[in-house]
Structure 1
Amino acid sequence: MNNYQEERMKELFGTLPQNRNMDWDAVTPVIDFEFSRHADPVRARKKNIKRAVKTLKPVKRTIGFFGYKHNKPYQCVVTGVDCRNQDYGDLKREYLLDDRGRTIQFTPWTGVIPGRGRPMSGTYCPQALQLFKLLSEWMEQEERENERGFFRQMRKKGVSFIPIKKPAEKPQTPLASKWGEAFIEAEKDGIPIVRVPDSVGRNRISMLIFDYDYINGVGTDGRPYGHAETINEYMEQEQSQEQMFDAAFDTAMREAYQ
């Protein structure tokens, strides 16, 4: 609130009959929030949330341009009071200081609840910020109770949940754990793997086929793969590798079923 607004507020406040002949330096707003007295605590909390949102909604302009009446960085968007010299007490550490103790600006939203509407340039006075803290606590309680009531709501819809215990994984032997990683890396690098299944289809024998020319990226004469003069040689090597794989497979099958 600028000096004119502050002086105007003091002047208007002084015209009230109960305040005549009184001396004061400033006027601070007090938000008179009426808590719900409903016997059901859940319904009482719902009413408190509704009333708090209504109370904390920023004041809109009544004449002139559309927008909000109090939206300067130092103004409370609810009461319009100048917040630069207000005493926030413990609220300052919670809302107006960062982790390093530096002052930050609290940003209210046009829809009160963070994320609803759009952020404003103004702030909250201590009384409004205290009510916002209560609103946040009520909404957290509401959210926790909604989570607890999820299964009850699903049951009413005919949806039930059955807990399932997954079977424990069979522990691997040290050799299987060690060399299993080697086969995974070989597959990533494109190294051929020959697998021989047993009579029930399980993997019985596995063989890694290393072509050192392929691994080193050169042909038999030292020239890199992809060179125009090595294409025929590469095709011949591919054919010989296929024959070698077939022979290795036949040998493994004979040994496996002897």
Structure 2
Amino acid sequence: MKMKLSGKILPLIALTTLAGCMSTGPHLKSSVSEGVAGIEARLPYANYSNYFGYVDKSVVPEGKYKGKDTYYLYVWVPAAVDEIGVSMISPAVATPGDEDFVHANFKPGMDKDANKFFDTYIVLDRMNIIDSNSIADGGKVLQNLGRNDDSSELPANPSGASYNSLLRKTTSMNNPTEALVRGVYRIGFTSFRSSVEGSFEATIGTNVPGVKIAASLSELDALVNNKL
């Protein structure tokens, strides 16, 4: 997918109560929860990066997952993290901010058919790229870190079904292969209930700033290494 990108990191959401946390802020929350007055709520990540895209016939699939056409997003995480959260909602329910990562197809697609959506399925992989200067050289997938099809934590799609996707991966201090280190991660997305067509909103949650998202390694290299 070819596109022009911009990027931002959203600030930590100020929460006055856990009840407020349950009804405000990003839909994607961390695995950490706290309880006050009998209310248990997941806490937000310190930093969020959002990506808004639109898949139509002009966007060519980049791979296959279990026989289904699959599209990729590439994520640069600049430091070791305790947890990575990923969610994908279709159709997009928010409006991109000036510094969000936005696919060039997003606005034309929304202008044409803002209601088009697909049932999301996401896969998170770790790649063998740990040096930002090596992003342009490419790499390969080292390890699958998780997958998700349906999540009731996210808004239902227009059909009323909880078919949007959310996954969390926590680091392991005891197993180096499960440690979430600095480097490039890949999000694959497809659908097993429909074709992949329509808008989507992907969100990455971490507790470090500086996360970048692009639809190719060359674009990620340009973002991370200030080549835009």
TM-score bucket of the superposed structures, by smaller chain = under 0.3
Bigger strand fraction: 2
Identify which of structures 1 and 2 has the higher relative contact order when contacts are C-alpha pairs closer than 8 Å and 6+ apart.
2
Q: Output the TM-score relative to the length of structure 2.
A: 0.24
Q: Output the TM-score relative to the length of structure 1.
A: 0.22
Bigger helix fraction: 1
